[in-house]
Structure 1
């Protein structure tokens, strides 16, 4: 099968041909139709995840996907061949990935039947990003009434988090580099949209004493951690330990992994299926153009970049 993978330590990702994976106990195999580009994928490609995950080469890149179940392990129930699903490749090691014709995922907590109302691109952009957004929100005790700054708000995680946080009663301040980005975050439920290039001035005008919570989805944490009030929260899926954060004595630092769960995927599918949660798609790229998509990621994109595979 065709795949986009890193073949060895220090090597650059490339299109390769490998055998399709076989589902191991508890897993299903999925014929991938679409997969979304995430920051995690770029980190793996750059070699940044070597200290956090075992790499079993070749490591196929890609985390979240939509597709059709192709095979199931003997011990799997509740998911059948032919089911249209969305999910996450979430294993304790890196090997299988979503940027391939086929991938495998855990039947329990790794995927769920996709709502019919979601397009393939939308279904492929919900499980990983949505799990991260839910994990961030769950780290906040009683978000109602709290002021939350989301830096990197126009990406896949941010556009979902804005909606979830606003629905939970938080006052959301969301960054956007462009006019279109700032218009989008307001449309999604943010109370304030601010330009990242002059963040300190904007936040001091809105919240002179600082925000209750800052969510770090992009940029340098040190440039805005001071905008959190004493005793507030600084939540990051990018920084993995307090040693990576320089202000941990003044504010509470919370690293987020965003691993999926059956409960989280069910919640996301229900919200998206009912229309209460919008999945924003910026653009779609062909499988042969994954390298281009990696280069575009985070550069004034709004929502998700999706790779068409099947």
Structure 2
């Protein structure tokens, strides 16, 4: 099958012909329709995750997908061939991935029925990004009435987190570099949408006493850590250990990673079904142009960048 993969350690990712994976016990195989580009994929491609996960080559990139169940492994209940699903490739090792014609995923924690309201591109933008947003929300604790700064809010995780935190009563101060991005953040529930270019001044203008917590999805946290009140929290998807955080003597560091669970995926799809959660897709790329999709990641995109596997 066609796949966008790293052939061996240190090699750049490229299109390769690899074997179609077989589902192990507890897994389903999915014929992939679409896959979303995430920071995790960029880090794996650059070799940054070698110390955190076993790498098995050829290593197919991609974590988040939508498609149709193609095969069901032993000990799987609740899924049948032909079911339209979304999910996350989340295993102790890295090998199968979403940027391929087929992938496998753990049925009870990494796959859920895709809402009819979502296109394949939108469905492929919910599993990993949404699980990450829920993990951040859990790390923040009770956000009702609190000022929450979300730095990098126009990305896939940020657009979902803005909605989730606002729905729980948080006063979300969300950053965006463009007028279009800031307007969208306000539509998604942010109380304030500020320009990242002059972040400190913009936040001080709406929160002169500082914020209760900051979420680090982009940029250098030393720039905005002074905005967090003493005893507040910085939650980061980009820093992996407490000692990497600035001002740790007065601010609680909270490094997180978004690992899916069945309950989390069902919560996310339920919110989509009842109209409480919007999934934002910035653009779609053809599978042949997946390298362009990777190159575009993080460059003032609004929502998710999705690759269509045709």
Which residue in the other structure is 1:183 paired with? 183
Which residue in the other structure is 2:63 paired with? 63
Which residue in the other structure is 1:285 paired with? 285
What pairs with 1:199-218 in structure 2 (closer than 5 Å)? 199-218=199-218
What is the DSSP-based 3-state SS (H/G/I as helix, E as strand, rest coil) of the residue aligned with 2:108?
coil
Which residue in the other structure is 1:119 paired with? 119
What pairs with 1:120-159 in structure 2 (closer than 5 Å)? 120-159=120-159
Instruction: Tell me the alpha carbon deviations over residues 31-85 of structure 1, each in whole angstroms, 9 at most, x when there is no partner.
Output: 0000000011001111111111111111110110000000011211111111000
Please report how far the alpha carbon of residue 151 of structure 1 lies from its aligned counterpart in structure 2 after TM superposition: 0.4
CA distance in 2, matches of 1:151, 1:141: 18
Instruction: Tell me the alpha carbon deviations over residues 185-232 of structure 1, each in whole angstroms, 9 at most, x when there is no partner.
Output: 011110101110100111112112210010001111111111111000
Please report how far the alpha carbon of residue 141 of structure 1 lies from its aligned counterpart in structure 2 after TM superposition: 2.3
Please report how far the alpha carbon of residue 274 of structure 1 lies from its aligned counterpart in structure 2 after TM superposition: 1.9
CA distance in 1, matches of 2:56, 2:222: 34
Q: For the Cα contact (< 8 Å) 1:118–1:273, is it kept in 2? A: no
CA distance in 1, matches of 2:54, 2:248: 29
Q: For the Cα contact (< 8 Å) 2:20–2:102, is it kept in 1? A: yes
CA distance in 1, matches of 2:37, 2:291: 11
Which residue in the other structure is 1:295 paired with? 295
CA distance in 2, matches of 1:180, 1:205: 21
Number of aligned positions between the proteins: 310
CA distance in 1, matches of 2:282, 2:42: 18
What is the DSSP-based 3-state SS (H/G/I as helix, E as strand, rest coil) of the residue aligned with 1:70?
strand
Gaps of 5+ in 1: none
What is the DSSP-based 3-state SS (H/G/I as helix, E as strand, rest coil) of the residue aligned with 1:238?
coil
Which residue in the other structure is 2:247 paired with? 247
Instruction: Tell me the alpha carbon deviations over residues 148-171 of structure 1, each in whole angstroms, 9 at most, x when there is no partner.
Output: 000000000000000000000000
CA distance in 2, matches of 1:87, 1:24: 16
* TM-score, reference length from structure 2: 0.99
Please report how far the alpha carbon of residue 298 of structure 1 lies from its aligned counterpart in structure 2 after TM superposition: 1.1
Runs of 4+ aligned residues of structure 1 deviating over 3 Å after TM superposition are none
Which residue in the other structure is 2:275 paired with? 275
Gaps of 5+ in 2: none
* TM-score, reference length from structure 1: 0.99
What is the DSSP-based 3-state SS (H/G/I as helix, E as strand, rest coil) of the residue aligned with 1:181?
helix
CA distance in 2, matches of 1:109, 1:141: 23
CA distance in 1, matches of 2:157, 2:246: 24
Which residue in the other structure is 2:235 paired with? 235
Q: What RMSD over aligned residues (CA atoms) do the two structures have, in Å?
A: 0.8
CA distance in 1, matches of 2:93, 2:249: 33
Which residue in the other structure is 2:23 paired with? 23
Is 1:226 the equivalent of 2:247?
Answer: no
